[in-house]
Structure 1
Amino acid sequence: GAEVLLNLQPTSSVSIQYHPFFGPHDDLVLLELDEKLLSDVLYQRVTLRGQPDEDAVLCTKSKTYSVKFVGTSNSVFLIPPADCSTSHESGGKNDKQQVATASVIKVAPGNMELVEVAPRLDKLKSILSENLYSSDEASTAMGDLYQWDDLINKVQASDDELKAGLQALSAVEIDGYWRIVDEKYMDVILRMLLHNSVLNDWLLDSLVEDKVVSVLELDGFPRKLVYHCLNVYGGRVEGEAMGGGVWRLDSRRVCVHFARGILREGKRKMESFMEEWLRMIPEEMQPSFDMLEGEVLTEKLGVETWVRALSVSSLPTTPAERFSILFKERAKWEWKDLEPYIRDLNVPGLSSEALLLKYTRRSQPSVDAEPGAIVVVSCESSDLVLEESCLTFVIIISSLLHHGSGSRSMPMPMPMPMPCEHLISHLRESKSVFV
């Protein structure tokens, strides 16, 4: 049996034969694991997730792995223990010797391999956005609602990654269902909180939980939504001794919220936007345009600067789709503008620099770019086609000039690739003729 092979000595041999139950092999899959995953599998801490029309993923508590079949050129034999093996006798009439054999019960043509991947959270945003929670109670009965068990069955992500995805979407569990609260409703709650802070002389960096919750409940807001508002636009103050807890509003989150509201109706001139934005923000907060990194884009139209919304939270989480949308917004990006929109991309084993090398190429800055600015374009940009065309052109011209001269010298070496902007000057210096 299997023990025979395990104890096989050098230069020894063993007979291989078909097991009596040798049969179909499609009911068996080998899974290759590293030491980190072995204990999770042995103690049943993994799950396979995915819908019938999706490629399955394997999830631990904190990570997601794609499952890929890898074929092998050599057959892998599966041999059962000794009690399922057989033996036979050999030798002459007077010399019988029992020879150990190994019985092959299955043949594996390959194995399944696990590769860590980013969680597939775009679906989470899609299904939760179907039915936003608003002030209209009737809306809660429209569309599908999802509990935690529904989400882990539909979204290909580990439990920890799913929780992080819900937090990134500012989702909240209401009556057992996970919901995204409509931004307009969140705006009403936040404005009422700020209004009451003025009426009651509350400090925005020291909001007493019990007072805030009780006052906003009297204004008609559900207790759960008041806590959610505090959590979305602020955080608990640690180490405070005041009863009931203390919260502090986060300046950036509040400022970004009001900027989104202004730009929801379309782009604005910079002066008009800044004037309205500053007017809406509480006096205790010090807004800065840098707070809107990854939320807005600016563009020059003539002598005027315009501002328009482009939130990183609205973009796909897969790199290919993310870069495709970004280069539809702009053909060329300066690195300082692009970086906030790819900073959150999560691809195991690939840094932001590696993603840039894969999906972009460096380009020449425009005349209005800042000195020393790094500019990138899409790998599919026409700039690259132009560069390749120029390179082909210089090779052809050099070859024609050489062979047309009647020279019997050795063929010229292939010109080394060079940036497109240097090709014309190179041709001029070599006195090549343009046709």
Structure 2
Amino acid sequence: MPGTRAARRTREEVDATLQVAKLDAAELLPTAHCLAFGLGAHGGAGDVCLLELEPALCQQLEAGRSLVIRGDKEEQAVLCSKDKTYDLKVADTSNMLLFIPGCKTPDQLKMEESPCNIVHTELRRCRPRLKKLKKLLMGNTYEGPDSPKEKDSKCSKYTTEDLLDQIQASEEEIMTQLEVLKACVIRGYWRILEFDYEMKLLNHITQLVDSESWSFSKVPLNICLQELGPLEP
């Protein structure tokens, strides 16, 4: 409470609290950190989230990099760094109530006092959730520039930013999976070639290689693009 000095506890009181909390004193960290929030610092909802990070993620934040939380309303949120994905798990703990002198539960607060709900969240490394990536791209495969779908504005197309917003994975994991899916950027959008169209392109390439007597292991890319450009712009 403002203007009230926190009460000091004796060693016996601390030991008794540890026993109630079923904690071993030898396993406790030697340093305690006191967090103070000014009036209105925790926003209108009155919620504070304590997020436990591994040292590598702390170093990334200290270096000025960002961590991103991804997930639609019906999905469980994940936290992503540049190259890894983590599950966000709410850690069940009552230790904050046991160790904060004079701490009140929401039921004990007066009506005029603004409650502050503290949630302790920890991270667990998880596999990137990439099934949705293939589902999105397969919903509108590329059949060539003259396909009616290319003129239909209702057909969904996705930029890199769109995929980062919708896929629960880090940027590096998404880019790696796009390579696995053999997706390519066409007019700024990630697309997967429709099978028949891909076979059509492959047929053009094999005919050109055969006519020029090239080795399949040494096909000159620039010449190939120049020759096939008029056929498939």
Question: TM > 0.5 between the two?
Answer: yes
Q: What is the Cα-based RMSD across aligned positions, in Å?
A: 3.3
> Structure 2: how far apart are the matches of 1:47 and 1:118?
16
Partner of 2:55: 35
**Cα 1:12/1:41, change in 2 over 3 Å:** farther
Partner amino acid, structure 2, of 1:221: E
SS at match of 1:72: coil
> Structure 1: how far apart are the matches of 2:188 and 2:202?
24
The one of 158, 163, 179 equivalent to 1:146 is 158
The one of 157, 180, 187 equivalent to 2:169 is 157
Partner of 1:269: none
Residue pairs, 1:16-415, within 5 angstroms: 27-42=47-62, 43-76=64-97, 108=118, 110-135=119-144, 136-142=146-152, 143-218=155-230, 220-222=231-233
Contact 1:75 1:107 in 2 (8 A): no
Partner amino acid, structure 1, of 2:176: A
Partner amino acid, structure 1, of 2:183: A
**Cα 1:107/1:56, change in 2 over 3 Å:** closer
Partner amino acid, structure 2, of 1:129: M
> Structure 2: how far apart are the matches of 1:157 and 1:28?
25
SS at match of 2:91: strand
Contact 1:125 1:169 in 2 (8 A): yes
> Structure 1: how far apart are the matches of 2:38 and 2:185?
57
SS at match of 2:48: coil
Runs (4+) off by over 3 Å: 8-14, 19-26, 76-79, 105-108
**Cα 1:41/1:195, change in 2 over 3 Å:** same
How far did residue 160 of structure 1 move? Answer: 0.1
> Structure 2: how far apart are the matches of 1:161 and 1:145?
20
Partner of 1:358: none
How far did residue 74 of structure 1 move? Answer: 2.6
> Structure 2: how far apart are the matches of 1:184 and 1:202?
25
**Cα 1:113/1:201, change in 2 over 3 Å:** same
> Structure 2: how far apart are the matches of 1:181 and 1:70?
44
SS at match of 1:186: helix
> Structure 1: how far apart are the matches of 2:210 and 2:39?
82
SS at match of 1:71: coil
Give the share of equivalent positions with the same residue, in percent.
Answer: 30
**Cα 1:20/1:129, change in 2 over 3 Å:** closer
- TM-score, with length taken from structure 2: 0.70
> Structure 1: how far apart are the matches of 2:147 and 2:38?
67
How far did residue 185 of structure 1 move? Answer: 0.7
How far did residue 20 of structure 1 move? Answer: 9.9
For the pair shown, which has the larger CA radius of gyration, 1 or 2?
1
> Structure 2: how far apart are the matches of 1:74 and 1:170?
50
**Cα 1:214/1:21, change in 2 over 3 Å:** closer
Contact 1:50 1:156 in 2 (8 A): yes
**Cα 1:12/1:150, change in 2 over 3 Å:** same
How far did residue 75 of structure 1 move? Answer: 2.8
SS at match of 2:150: helix
Contact 1:69 1:113 in 2 (8 A): yes
- TM-score, with length taken from structure 1: 0.39
- Structure 1 segments unaligned to the other structure (5+ residues): 80-104, 223-435
**Cα 1:75/1:159, change in 2 over 3 Å:** same
SS at match of 2:66: coil
> Structure 1: how far apart are the matches of 2:219 and 2:131?
35
Q: Deviations over 1:11-64 (max 9, x none)?
A: 5999xxxx9969998511111112111122343421011111111110000000
Corresponding pairs, count: 187
Partner of 2:30: none
How far did residue 116 of structure 1 move? Answer: 0.7
